[in-house]
Chains A and B, each alone.
Chain A
Amino acid sequence: MTTRSPDVDGPAVTGAFRARRRAARATPPRFGSWTRTAAWYRAPGVAALAIGIGLAAGRPDLVVLVVPLLLGWVAALLATRPLLGSRTPRAALEVDESSFGRNTADVVTDLVGTGGVELVSVAQPGIQTGPVGSMVTVPGGAPERSVRSRFSTRQWGMTTVARPDLLGAGPDGLYLSGPVRHGPVRVDLVLGEVQPIEPLGLPPILGGWAGAHVSRRPGQGSDLVDLREFAPGDRLRSIHWRAYARHQRLYTRRTLSDADAEIMICLDLSVMLEPRRAGAPGGRAAGASRAVTKAIRTLLDRIAERRGDDGPERRRERERRLRASSLDLTVAAASAVAAAHLGQGDRVGLLTASMPRRMVRPGTGNRQLQRIRHQLALLEDRRYRLIDVSLWGLAPGQIVVLCSPMVDGAVTEAVLSCQARGHRVIVVDTLPLSGLLFHANAHDSDHLRVLTIERELRLDRLRGSGIPVLSWDAGDISLQMATELQTLRRAR
């Protein structure tokens, strides 16, 4: 999944990711040997005491009482014989990579070496529950067992898909192997979800001969300018027949040419803001209280979902949205804009406006969308220095869609510089303001107030320069774009 595409500039997998991935794959799983448990000593201990007391006190009932216990222990020990000296069970993972487009995959865990084992408990990934979402205990006996489960996530980037923690046990739990934690971990690059949005209604484009947008160049197109008298060489299909019916003279339609757009999505990674993560209060009582509350809520959610109520899902979605960072919103906005415009035939590219510079050259089609999503999934939550606009590598005529939290004055200057270079610029504000406000404490609120005022001044400056500013956090940026264009038209 992390193979480098030939059309993608910049490192497909950064050094840090490579190192992390190598480390995850090369971590030697801690498979140990079989160890005796308390159950191994329990039966002979109790039996010895009971038989001793029974013989000493002349009480045969005590001896009879522990005879089945002792016989059961011996039977379990006899069943344990093939287990001793053999290797402990281990897991191998297979993942259906072809299904990662929807962030869902089937994970098959092959359990090897389960021949003389009584039972093996293995962790399985689940739907929105992470790599250790559930456990399943399977019987031994056969030399190999296969467990298949479905993994699904809303995360993006390098994600632990499966981590089959193991716990093997011999007959009656007399012997244990494990628990094996952090064994063969499967880490994969998960692409971010693409939220469906309408393409942004772009203002008239300066050039172009075909496409989905209105241009300012006269030519073959759909946008009517006026009528003129028919002249030799005009196409018959452009004759305006209603004008002919009124005036008994031939008129032809003059139209503006349709144009395609070349959109470059620029990402501002110089600042990353995320809602405050409330530290969990310490103490066992608080932990137990949280666990009980969570269990009750999970139970109520399950009951509601069985009734067909979508309230729990909506609540979880809202909680996820309120936890999103500016990087999450940037990735979501970029992939949504790219998908919408690639869907209508525009050429779309991607670049990071900060070091290290990454770029996907403009292209069309579904494969281009996958390239862009792949590059977006490789982004890291690190702060990078914003680079000068002259080094962004923008081609003339490209429409710049800048996804940025807009908390830095340098970004405002970069946007204005872009516009001064003749690019049409659209700013998608990716500050997770609702999440920041929701999770803010009293101390944060003062900072946020100052930040918001400064930001509004910058955004007003951009709007005053005729640059549409859309907020991804507020939702429906297509509608916002239409409103912004209407406002700009009125201002003229």
Chain B
Amino acid sequence: MASDAEHSGTVNHRDPALRAGTILIDGDIAHGIRGWALRLALGACAALAAAISMAEAPVVGVTSVAGFVLMLLVIGTAAAPGSVVPMLFLLAVVLYRLVPNGSLLDGGLVALAALVPIVHQLAGLAAAIPVRSLVSWRVLRPAALRLVIVVVPVELALLVYRLV
């Protein structure tokens, strides 16, 4: 274990690209977003999913206990993405779909089918990234790629089904 505490020695040059307040990753200046921006995005996606769920189930109402709980879950998802709250939120979204609204494969389902995995992924990433960390854009690329690969075929299938 002691070998993990590596002190490789000294660097005898200064990188001219490194200015006050900047960080270089593999020699390039790090650009990206802050960790809290991920949580904001997560909150926005969760709020959108909640809004669509509520709109799809008008009989429940926004001012009901269920609506209030859903709003609390949205806030909790953004505030504590590493906890059980995002799971409860997704379950609440699923349960909202149980309320009969006539059409089963409607536009709301198309939107929610994309938003649910986005909320899941953003919650996973936001829980793993410190709030004040500078997140390089390249960090988000693999997750975005997986999301596109998974969501796009399902969305296309739903759209084709609706058109047919």
A residues contacting B by CB (< 8 A) are: 25-29, 31, 37-39, 41-43, 45-46, 49-50, 53, 57, 59-62, 64-69, 71-73, 75-76, 79, 90-99, 106, 108, 110, 118-119, 121, 124, 126-127, 134-139, 141-142, 145-150, 167, 169, 171-174, 176, 183-186
The reply to whether A110 and B121 form a contact with Cβ atoms under 8 Å apart is no
Contact of A29 among B1, B11, B113 (CB under 8 A): B1
Q: List 28 A-B contacts (CB under 8 A).
A: A28-B1, A29-B5, A31-B1, A39-B120, A39-B123, A42-B124, A50-B94, A53-B98, A61-B109, A65-B109, A65-B112, A66-B116, A69-B116, A69-B117, A90-B4, A90-B6, A92-B6, A95-B11, A118-B142, A136-B30, A136-B136, A138-B136, A145-B26, A147-B25, A148-B15, A149-B24, A174-B124, A184-B7
Tell me how far the C-beta of B96 lies from the nearest C-beta in chain A, rounded to whole angstroms: 10
Interface residues of B in 111-138 (CB under 8 A from A): 112-114, 116-117, 120-121, 123-130, 132-136, 138
- Chain B residue, CB-CB nearest to A169: B128
Tell me how far the C-beta of B88 lies from the nearest C-beta in chain A, rounded to whole angstroms: 9
* Known contacts A60-B104, A79-B146, A92-B8; A28 and B2 CB within 8 A of each other: yes
* Known contacts A28-B1, A65-B97; A76 and B146 CB within 8 A of each other: yes
By a CB distance below 8 angstroms, the chain A residues around B25 are 136, 138, 145-147
Tell me how far the C-beta of A485 lies from the nearest C-beta in chain B, rounded to whole angstroms: 43
The reply to whether B82 and A49 form a contact with Cβ atoms under 8 Å apart is no
* Known contacts A37-B82, A71-B154, A75-B150; A135 and B130 CB within 8 A of each other: yes
- Is there a chain A Cβ closer than 8 Å to B143's Cβ? yes
Interface residues of B in 1-54 (CB under 8 A from A): 1-2, 4-15, 18-27, 30, 32, 35
- Chain A residue, CB-CB nearest to B32: A137
A171 and B145 CA atoms in complex are apart in Å by 11
Given contacts A136-B134, A149-B22, list 5 more A-B pairs with CB under 8 A: A25-B5, A126-B21, A167-B129, A172-B125, A172-B146
- Is there a chain A Cβ closer than 8 Å to B151's Cβ? yes
The reply to whether A64 and B105 form a contact with Cβ atoms under 8 Å apart is yes
By a CB distance below 8 angstroms, the chain B residues around A134 are 23, 132-134
By a CB distance below 8 angstroms, the chain B residues around A53 are 94-95, 98
The reply to whether A65 and B94 form a contact with Cβ atoms under 8 Å apart is yes
Chain B: interface size category: 35 or more
A96 and B30 CA atoms in complex are apart in Å by 20
By a CB distance below 8 angstroms, the chain A residues around B87 are 38, 41-42, 45-46
The reply to whether A79 and B94 form a contact with Cβ atoms under 8 Å apart is no
Tell me how far the C-beta of A169 lies from the nearest C-beta in chain B, rounded to whole angstroms: 4
A86 and B30 CA atoms in complex are apart in Å by 27
The reply to whether B120 and A184 form a contact with Cβ atoms under 8 Å apart is no
* Mask of B82-94 contacts with A, CB within 8 angstroms, 1/0: 1110110011011
The reply to whether B121 and A72 form a contact with Cβ atoms under 8 Å apart is yes
The reply to whether B142 and A79 form a contact with Cβ atoms under 8 Å apart is yes
- Is there a chain A Cβ closer than 8 Å to B139's Cβ? yes
The reply to whether A183 and B154 form a contact with Cβ atoms under 8 Å apart is no
Tell me how far the C-beta of A386 lies from the nearest C-beta in chain B, rounded to whole angstroms: 39
- Is there a chain A Cβ closer than 8 Å to B158's Cβ? yes
- Chain A residue, CB-CB nearest to B125: A173
- Is there a chain A Cβ closer than 8 Å to B147's Cβ? yes
Tell me how far the C-beta of A108 lies from the nearest C-beta in chain B, rounded to whole angstroms: 6
* Known contacts A65-B94, A96-B10, A136-B133; A27 and B23 CB within 8 A of each other: no
By a CB distance below 8 angstroms, the chain A residues around B136 are 136-139
A62 and B113 CA atoms in complex are apart in Å by 10
The reply to whether A39 and B23 form a contact with Cβ atoms under 8 Å apart is no
The reply to whether A137 and B35 form a contact with Cβ atoms under 8 Å apart is yes
- Chain B residue, CB-CB nearest to A42: B87
A121 and B126 CA atoms in complex are apart in Å by 12
By a CB distance below 8 angstroms, the chain A residues around B143 are 118, 171-172
Tell me how far the C-beta of A236 lies from the nearest C-beta in chain B, rounded to whole angstroms: 55
